[in-house]
Amino acid sequence: MTRITADISVSLDGFVTGPDPGPRNGLGTGGEALHTWAFSDAPDDRRIVREATARSGAVVLGRRLFDLVDGPDGWNDDVGYGAREATKPAFVVVTTAPPESVRPSDLDWTFVTSGLGDAVATARGRAEAASSAAGRDLDVVLMGGGATIRSALDAGLVDELTLHLAPVVLGGGTPLFSGGTPRTLVQRTVITTSTATHLTYDVGR
């Protein structure tokens, strides 16, 4: 069965970027430390990246994150979702208007202008089609940014929450949680590597 998984890196003080994020500084000041685990060559970290990519049938991201991905300092052959892996999922962007062009044109992009719920439904359809083709269950991954994941949690769209807890205190930036609808989480797994603690929860409805 296709599940909707929110997956994001977060600091010990609850931020998904450092202070002053912007077009040329997408992760904010010091925010690169949040993703050390994703670029690590340590076997445990590589396994987590590999397994997450392998079960991704479609990926949802918000427009602000897409603009960073699409920008001059964005994704390339070495940096990006599954960049070092053999398979790449479909990408679904929540936006008010599609861009005129896309720089990472080798990836499968769909732009949804009718809201987050429709974007998740579109991604679910893509993931279910990919599951049928692969002969195994693949998931929808909400990779961010923080506002997109908060909205999805508040709307009850998320089945599973995975947090990559980085050993850094940023002191400010974009918070993952800032009020919103209370949710009950059931802890499923805790994996500790040299660069992060990887926490997975079932999300109560």
The pair of three-digit structure tokens given for residue 43, joined into one six-digit string: 């076997």
Residues 6+ apart with CB under 8 A from 16: 8, 9, 10, 34, 144, 145, 146, 173, 174, 175, 176
In angstroms, rounded to a whole number, what is the distance separating the alpha carbons of residues 126 and 90? 7
* Residue found by looking up tokens 């912007």 in the block: 22
Please give the single-letter amino acid code of residue 163.
Answer: L
Mean of the pLDDT values across residues 99-109?
90
- Into how many domains does the chain fold? 1
Mean residue pLDDT of the chain comes to 91
Q: How confident is the model at residue 15 (pLDDT cuts 50, 70, 90)?
A: very high
Residue 161 falls inside a structural domain = no
Rounded to an integer, the average pLDDT of 5-28 is 92
Least confidently predicted of 19-23, 112-116, 164-168, 180-184? 180-184
98 three-state secondary structure: coil
Residue 126 lies in a domain: yes
Instruction: State the residue range of the domain holding 9.
Output: 4-156+166-203
What's 58's domain CATH number? Answer: 3.40.430.10
Give a yes or no: residue 184 inside a domain: yes
Cβ-Cβ contacts under 8 Å for 32 (sequence gap 6 or more): none
pLDDT, one tens digit per residue, over 25-80 is: 888 999 999 999 998 999 999 999 999 999 999 999 999 999 988 988 888 777 77
**Which residue pairs, CB below 8 angstroms and at least 24 apart, start in 183-188?**
183/153, 185/161, 188/160
With respect to residue 75, please indicate whether it lies within any of the assigned structural domains: yes
Give me the percent of the chain exceeding a pLDDT of 70: 96
**Edge-to-edge strands, sheet with 139-144:** 109-112, 90-94, 56-62, 139-144, 4-10, 160-165, 197-203, 185-192
Mean pLDDT, residues 75-94 taken together:
78
Residue 181 lies in a domain: yes
Helices (H), the chain: 36-39, 43-54, 63-70, 116-134, 146-154
DSSP secondary structure letters along 115-143:
-HHHHHHHHHHHHHHHHHHHTS--EEEEE
Is 100 a member of any domain? yes
Helix (H) or strand (E) holding 192: strand 185-192
- Assign 86 a pLDDT band (cuts: 50, 70, 90): low
The confidence score (pLDDT) of residue 36 equals 95
pLDDT-derived band at 82 (thresholds 50, 70, 90) equals low
Task: Give the pTM.
Answer: 0.92
